[in-house]
Homo-oligomer: A and B are copies of this chain.
Amino acid sequence: MSEGDRIDAIEEPPARQPTIYDVARVAGVSHQTVSRLLKGDQGIKPANRERVLQALETLDYRPNLTARSLATRRSHRVAVLTQELGQVGPGKVVQGAAEEARLHGFVLDIITLDVGDRSNVEQGIRTVNQQDVAGILALASTDGLRAAFDRADFRIPVLMGGEGDEATGGPPLQVSTVAIPELVDHLVALGHRDIVHIAGPKKWVAARNRAFAFSNALKHHGLRLTRTVYGDWSAASGYEAVRSLPARARFTAVCAANDQMALGAMLALQERGLGVPTDVSVTGIDDIPEAAYLVPPLTTVRMNSEEQGHVAFRNLLAQINGETPTPIMVEGRVILRKSTAPPALR
Taking a contact as CB atoms under 8 Å apart, the answer to whether A95 and B85 are in contact is yes
Contacts A239-B293, A290-B290, A293-B235 known; A87 to B91 CB distance under 8 Å? yes
Taking a contact as CB atoms under 8 Å apart, the answer to whether A66 and B75 are in contact is yes
Q: Report, nearest first, the 3 A-B pairs whose CB atoms are least far apart.
A: A235-B293, A85-B95, A91-B91
Q: How far is the CA of A91 from the CA of B108 in the complex (A)?
A: 15
Interface 1/0 per residue, A86-112 and B, CB below 8 Å: 111011101100110010000111111
Taking a contact as CB atoms under 8 Å apart, the answer to whether A95 and B84 are in contact is yes
From the candidates B65, B86, B92, name the one contacting A289 in the complex (CB within 8 A). B86
> Residue on B with the closest CB to A109?
B107
> Residue on B with the closest CB to A78?
B107
Taking a contact as CB atoms under 8 Å apart, the answer to whether A234 and B66 are in contact is no
Which residues on the B side are within 8 Å of A292 (C-beta)? 235-236
Taking a contact as CB atoms under 8 Å apart, the answer to whether A297 and B69 are in contact is no
Q: For window 267-298 of chain A, which residues contact chain B by CB distance below 8 Å?
A: 267, 270, 289-290, 292-295, 297
> Residue on B with the closest CB to A60?
B129
Q: How far is the CA of A264 from the CA of B291 in the complex (A)?
A: 10
Besides A86-B305, A266-B295, 7 new A-B residue pairs in contact (Cβ under 8 A), listed by A number: A62-B130, A66-B66, A85-B91, A87-B91, A94-B110, A98-B110, A236-B289
Taking a contact as CB atoms under 8 Å apart, the answer to whether A293 and B95 are in contact is no
Q: Is A31 an interface residue (CB 8 A)?
A: no
Q: How far is the CA of A10 from the CA of B106 in the complex (A)?
A: 36
From the candidates B69, B90, B260, B290, name the one contacting A66 in the complex (CB within 8 A). B69
Contacts A86-B88, A293-B239 known; A98 to B70 CB distance under 8 Å? no
Copies in the complex: 2
Which residues on the B side are within 8 Å of A270 (C-beta)? 295
> Residue on B with the closest CB to A77?
B107
Q: For window 219-239 of chain A, which residues contact chain B by CB distance below 8 Å?
A: 234-236, 238-239
Query: A residues touching B (Cβ–Cβ < 8 Å)?
Result: 17, 62, 64-67, 69-70, 75, 77, 84-88, 90-92, 94-95, 98-99, 102, 107-112, 127, 130-132, 234-236, 238-239, 260, 263-264, 266-267, 270, 289-290, 292-295, 297, 305-306
Which residues on the B side are within 8 Å of A260 (C-beta)? 289-290, 293
Taking a contact as CB atoms under 8 Å apart, the answer to whether B293 and A65 are in contact is no
A321 to chain B minimum Cβ distance, whole angstroms, is 19
Which residues on the B side are within 8 Å of A306 (C-beta)? 86
Which residues on the B side are within 8 Å of A62 (C-beta)? 130, 132
The CB with the most chain B CB atoms within 10 A, among A17, A98, A239, A264, is that of A98
Taking a contact as CB atoms under 8 Å apart, the answer to whether B238 and A293 are in contact is yes
A138 to chain B minimum Cβ distance, whole angstroms, is 16
From the candidates B90, B91, B109, B293, name the one contacting A236 in the complex (CB within 8 A). B293
> Residue on B with the closest CB to A95?
B85
A56 to chain B minimum Cβ distance, whole angstroms, is 13
Q: What are 29 A-to-B residue pairs whose CB atoms are below 8 Å?
A: A64-B132, A65-B131, A65-B132, A66-B66, A66-B75, A84-B95, A85-B91, A85-B95, A86-B88, A86-B306, A88-B88, A91-B91, A94-B110, A95-B112, A98-B109, A98-B112, A102-B109, A234-B289, A236-B289, A236-B292, A238-B293, A239-B293, A260-B290, A263-B293, A264-B293, A266-B295, A267-B297, A270-B295, A294-B295
